[in-house]
Chains A and B, each alone.
Chain A
Amino acid sequence: MKITTDTDGCVASGQCVLLAPGTFDQDEDTGTVVLLSEEPAAGEEEAVRQSELTCPAAAIRLSGA
């Protein structure tokens, strides 16, 4: 599974970071998404799928299996 994020579209809700803190972080100044790795961190596959579904800005895209 490969993750891409749209920082321009991100509304800095941080919901992905609460769900998958090993995969996503927030920029300290702007609050927008920082992708820590292009693959989900260990054990966070389901949480990353949830993040894509719940992102308020639809700024997270998943590709591949």
Chain B
Amino acid sequence: MTTTEETPRLPFARANALAIAPDYEALRRQAPISRVLTPAGDPAWLVTSYEEAKEIFRDKRFGRSHPAPEQASRISGAAIQDGPSGDFETEEAEHKRMRRMLAPAFSAPRMRALGDRIAELTDRCLDDLQAAHDAHPGEPVDLTDFLAFPLPVLVICELLGVPYADREKFRGLSERIAMMNGGEDAQAAMTEFKAYMTKLADEKRADPQEDVISDMVAVQADDPTFTDDDLARMGAGLLFAGHETTSTRIAMGTLFLLGDTSRRDRFAADPEGEVNQTVEEILRLTATSGTGLLRYAHEDVEVAGTRILRGDAVLISSDAANRDATVFTDPDEFDPARTPNVHLAFGTGAHVCIGANLARTELRTVFPKLFGRFPGLRLTTGIDEIPVRVNRVAGGVDAVPVTW
């Protein structure tokens, strides 16, 4: 540790919700992979360039477990993406089991079949948004309260078989486990979250339904190595990832479309024609302000001339890779006409986001409906006044105040 004082420490500060920190670009100019300190103060490699990000995502010599977990670099004081997870010897087999168990439930045909239901739930959310607006004419309405938060929660609750009535409970737990300075409270929240999922799994065991938690319980019945703790952790992870991430993309997508009136008008003029590419551009540009996705090297690996040693922590910044000018022309420009738009918002390789089809289906439903119904939607505050959540793993914004 000779250069600690000069080593940049995550997270980096950004100008506003739509921008990413300039530090990423500055680091990428020097090298595709840089030495950084994690928010917890431990050493890690930060990958900022597209090609190397893609390569490491796809390289099986990098995983989520660590050969000697007690010696591993810690990332933050949150209870997710905070350090190693899983067992070094069995990680690959367990990951395959998990994917095999969950892939059918999140398949494209299943998500397509869910499309009508998502449309119905979106309409209901927009009715609530309208009602809130009418109740206090002239006052801003927070789009996160009426659409960005409730819609993904309604959808993931139905898919997993989680009662929607419990939303405030797991909203609170989700916030606490993801606080990068959470420490003991984040761990306590994770314990509580797992207890909640265990109780739910018990209910499904007694009375199975057509939902993912029931599917997991059924798989567990035939596999003694699949522990109650595994099931609880996985269930909590799905519930967390199934709403936080999509909520953020709905909020950020709205900000991107409202940040420039011509952008909004172009989209509102032909929502169905514009939506697929607009959603890809929203996915590319939405930055979480977190640390990037965590891997540990399972053996010594050389990437782009950098020697990464067995056990080293590697943070892959999709936010930065998605704005790599060698791949994306004018990378900071919001340009739905961009093609191809092969971004890394869902990662890639064996760990690619299992909910990608669900997220795309939700996002492709929500924006045409929102702008079809409220073509004159506008922000009631400047983009620089929208507070960014810098201390949360999934990033996002606190509020999207709108009117029309």
> Which residues of chain A have a CB within 8 Å of any CB of chain B?
11-15, 17-18, 21, 25-26, 28-32, 49-50, 53-54, 56-58
CB distance from B219 to the nearest CB of A (A): 12
Contact status A53-B347, CB under 8 Å = no
Chain A positions within 8 Å of B353 at CB level: 13
Q: Which of A17, A18, A53, A56 contacts B352 (CB 8 A)?
A: A56
Instruction: State whether the Cβ of B136 lies closer than 8 Å to any Cβ in chain A.
Output: no
Q: How far is the CB of B348 from chain A (nearest CB, A)?
A: 4
Give min CB distance, A55 to chain B, whole Å: 9
- Which secondary structure dominates chain A's binding surface? loop
User: Which of B24-32, B99-107, B261-269, B298-306 lies at the interface with chain A?
Assistant: B99-107
In the bound complex, what is the Cα–Cα distance between A13 and B58 (angstroms)?
14
B349 at the interface (CB under 8 A from A): yes
Return chain B residues, CB-CB under 8 Å to A25. Answer: 109
- Chain B contacts for A50, CB-based, 8 A: 340
User: Cβ of B346: which chain A residues have Cβ within 8 Å of it?
Assistant: 13, 56
**By DSSP majority rule, is chain B's interface helix, strand, loop, or mixed?**
helix
| Given A14-B106, A18-B111, A50-B340, A30 contacting B100 (CB threshold 8 A) | yes
Q: CA of A26 to CA of B110 in the docked complex: distance in angstroms?
A: 10
Contact B103 A18 (CB under 8 A): no
Cα separation A29 to B103 with both chains bound (whole Å) = 8
Instruction: Name A47's closest neighbour in chain B (CB-CB).
Output: B276
Q: Which residue from chain B places its CB closest to the CB of A26 in the assembled complex?
A: B107
Q: Tell me the minimal C-beta distance from B28 to chain A in angstroms.
A: 22
Q: Does B325 contact A (CB under 8 A)?
A: no
A57–B350 CB distance below 8 A = yes
B112 on the interface (CB 8 Å rule)? yes
Instruction: Name the residue among A12, A26, A29, A56 with the largest chain B CB count within 10 angstroms.
Output: A56
Alpha-carbon distance A29/B349, docked complex (angstroms): 20
Instruction: Kindly list 13 other residue pairs between chains A and B, CB separation below 8 angstroms, not including A18-B108, A18-B360, A31-B100.
Output: A11-B352, A12-B100, A12-B107, A14-B111, A14-B357, A17-B108, A17-B357, A18-B361, A21-B108, A53-B342, A54-B342, A57-B349, A58-B58
Residues of chain B contacted by A12 (CB below 8 angstroms): 99-100, 103, 107
